[in-house]
Structure 1
């Protein structure tokens, strides 16, 4: 699952591939926004943890990962 996180006052977004379901990611975002510690914590496919302060989250886009096309025959 591909997750894109827009961060306020930052020109680039955070993009990661995660094995979590869309419901799990949505629940984690909602809990981070409502919790006292205000920290969003997600884990990517390689086991790396991504931490984002909830007060700086502009948006979170949750979508299916697309197969990467390589070469001229994939037009």
Structure 2
């Protein structure tokens, strides 16, 4: 899932591709904001991103899409 994070006073948003559900992301963000601890996310490649909770402007989660792999039958004439 793609997670877009807006950081205060930064012109660009941060995008993290993590193997989390929308509910897990919401729980992590809520915990970080309520406790004042940094938001720590690990992406699908193992890279860790740490964002200070007081600098989070917004968090946007994308839809959970599974990649479809397969073959499409050719139309018969």
Fold conserved (TM > 0.5)? yes
* Structure 1 residue ranges, 4+ long, deviating more than 2 angstroms after superposition: 64-67
Partners of 1:32 and 1:5 lie apart in 2 by 13
5+ residue gaps, structure 2, are 68-77
5+ residue gaps, structure 1, are 68-75
Cα 1:65–1:15 shift into 2, 3 Å: farther
Q: What's the CA shift for 1:16?
A: 1.1
* Residues 21, 64 of structure 2: 8 Å contact kept: no
Task: State the partner residue of 1:60.
Answer: 59
Q: CA RMSD in A?
A: 1.6
TM-score normalized with structure 2 length: 0.79
1:48 aligns with 2:62: no
Alignment of 1:6-25 (within 5 A): 6-25=6-25
Q: What's the CA shift for 1:65?
A: 6.3
Partners of 1:55 and 1:48 lie apart in 2 by 22
SS of corresponding position for 1:45: coil
Aligned residues: 66
